[in-house]
C-alpha cells in the first residue's frame, strides 16, 4: 500500500481534469481557460452531469463540452487510460457537482420501492410493545425507501486526493397498505457516519483502481424502549475495480456498550447479540454494462449456526434520469428491528442515484 503524496493509478487524471474543468490552481497559468470559456465549460459540465444520461463516460463528457484532458500518468491502468473506469467516473461526477451550492452529493443508492412483498414479516416486536393479540400481523405488502447523502468536510488533509466526508443514510419501511393500523411507518433506521477516503496503490493486486475508507458509524431506529435498537461501529472499506467489476470488503468492529440492568432501561445495550446475526463484515460487488447495473451484497457471521444475508439489485433505464430498480433480500438484519429475524423480500421501484 502506497500512502505517498502523489495519487496512484488514475486519480491524478481525474484530479487534473476536474481542476481544468473548474479552473483550479493545480494547472499552470497558460493551461487554464479564460474566465468566460471557463464559465461556459463549467456550465456545460454541470448540465451534462445533472441532465445527461447516468452512464455518461469521461470521453463522452470531453466530447460534449470540448474539454482537453492532461496527459495520463504513466502508471495509470489501461482501464483508466481508456476512460472506462466506473470508479473514476463517479469520483469525477462527485468532484464537479460538489462545487455547486444547489447539489447534495449522493452517498449510497437513493430509491423508492412503492411495492415490495415480504414473505415472512416479523410482527412479534410490535405485538409485544403495544400489547396486541396473537392475530395482529404486519401486511406482506409494504413500501421501502432509502435516502443517502454526503458532504465533504475537508480535502487533501493527509495525502493528495484524500477527503473527509459526513454522510447520512435513512432507510424506511412503510406499511402503507395496512389500513387496520393506520398505515404506520413500522421501522426507520438512521445512520450518520464520518469517514476518510483516499486512493491507494494495492501493489499486490491487479486492480485497475482502488480506494480505502476508514470511518465511524452510528445506526439507530430512534425508538423508545422496548423497541429501541442501535449500535456504533468503526469500519474500514477496501474498494477496488477490475474489468468494470467493483468490489467492496467492509469489515467492522462494534464499540462495546454496558449491559442493561433492566429491559426498559434507556441506558445500556439495546441489542447485545447483534453480532451473532450481522457478523463483522459485508462484501459487495457491482457491475455496470451499457445502461444496466447489477449488484450483490453478502454478510455472514462465520459461525457454525451460519447466519447472514444476501441482497441482489438490478437497475435499468426508465424515463429520463429515473431508473427502474428490482431488489431481492434474504436473511438477517435488513433493518435494526429485524436484526435477529430472518426475512425474505422482493420489491420494485424507481431509483434516483446508483452505486456506480
Domain ranges of the chain: 40-69, 89-353
Provide the whole-model pTM.
0.81
The CA R_g of the chain, rounded to the nearest whole Å, is 22
59 labeled binding residue = no
Distance CA 36, CA 191 (A): 42
218 is catalytic: yes
3-class SS at 327?
A: strand
pLDDT tens over the chain, length 356 residues: 444 444 444 444 444 444 433 434 333 333 344 444 555 666 676 676 666 665 666 667 667 776 554 444 455 555 554 556 888 888 877 877 766 677 789 999 999 999 999 998 998 887 877 777 777 788 999 999 999 999 999 988 998 889 999 999 999 999 999 988 888 899 999 999 999 999 988 655 667 788 999 999 999 999 988 899 999 999 999 999 988 899 999 999 999 999 988 888 888 999 999 999 999 999 999 999 989 999 999 999 999 899 999 999 999 999 988 999 999 999 999 999 999 999 999 999 999 999 98
148 is catalytic: no
Cell of 221: 431506529
For residue 271, the cross-strand partners are none
| Candidates 98, 220, 280, 342; catalytic one | 220
CATH class of the structural domain 89-353 = mainly beta
230 labeled binding residue = no
How many other CB atoms sit within 10 Å of the CB of residue 53? Answer: 12
77 labeled binding residue = no
| Candidates 218, 242, 280, 342; catalytic one | 218
270 labeled binding residue = yes
Amino acid at each position: 500500500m502506497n500512502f505517498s503524496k502523489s495519487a496512484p493509478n488514475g486519480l491524478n487524471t481525474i484530479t487534473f481534469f476536474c481542476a481544468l474543468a473548474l479552473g483550479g490552481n493545480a494547472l499552470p497559468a497558460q493551461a487554464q481557460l479564460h474566465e468566460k470559456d471557463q464559465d461556459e465549460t463549467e456550465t456545460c459540465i454541470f448540465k451534462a452531469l445533472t441532465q445527461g444520461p447516468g452512464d455518461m463516460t469521461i470521453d463522452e463528457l470531453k466530447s460534449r463540452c470540448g474539454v482537453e484532458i492532461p496527459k495520463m500518468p504513466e502508471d495509470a491502468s489501461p482501464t483508466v487510460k481508456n476512460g472506462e473506469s466506473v470508479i473514476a467516473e463517479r469520483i469525477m461526477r462527485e468532484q464537479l457537482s460538489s462545487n455547486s451550492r444547489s447539489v447534495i452529493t449522493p452517498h449510497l443508492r437513493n430509491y423508492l420501492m412503492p411495492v415490495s412483498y415480504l414473505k415472512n414479516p416479523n410482527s412479534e416486536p410490535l405485538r409485544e410493545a403495544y400489547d396486541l393479540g396473537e392475530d395482529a400481523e404486519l401486511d406482506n405488502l409494504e413500501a421501502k425507501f432509502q435516502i443517502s447523502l454526503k458532504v465533504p468536510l475537508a480535502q487533501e488533509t493527509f495525502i493528495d486526493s484524500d477527503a473527509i466526508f459526513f454522510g447520512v443514510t435513512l432507510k424506511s419501511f412503510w406499511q402503507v397498505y395496512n389500513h387496520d393500523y393506520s398505515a404506520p411507518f413500522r421501522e426507520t433506521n438512521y445512520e450518520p457516519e464520518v469517514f476518510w477516503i483516499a486512493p491507494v496503490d494495492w501493489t499486490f493486486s491487479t486492480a485497475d483502481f482502488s480506494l480505502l475508507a476508514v470511518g465511524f458509524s452510528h445506526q439507530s431506529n430512534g425508538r423508545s424502549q422496548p423497541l429501541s435498537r442501535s449500535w456504533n461501529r468503526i469500519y474500514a472499506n477496501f474498494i477496488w475495480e477490475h474489468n468494470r467489476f467493483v468490489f467492496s470488503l467492509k469489515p467492522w468492529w462494534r464499540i462495546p456498550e454496558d449491559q442493561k440492568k433492566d429491559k426498559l432501561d434507556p441506558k445500556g445495550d439495546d441489542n447485545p447479540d447483534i453480532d451473532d446475526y450481522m457478523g463483522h463484515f459485508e462484501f459487495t460487488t457491482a457491475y455496470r454494462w451499457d445502461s444496466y447495473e447489477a449488484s450483490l451484497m453478502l454478510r455472514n457471521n462465520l459461525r457454525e449456526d451460519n447466519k447472514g444475508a444476501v441482497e441482489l439489485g438490478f437497475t435499468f433505464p426508465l424515463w429520463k434520469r429515473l431508473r427502474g430498480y428490482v431488489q431481492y433480500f434474504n436473511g438477517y438484519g435488513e433493518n435494526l428491528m429485524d436484526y435477529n429475524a430472518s426475512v425474505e423480500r422482493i420489491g420494485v421501484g424507481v431509483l434516483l442515484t446508483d452505486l456506480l
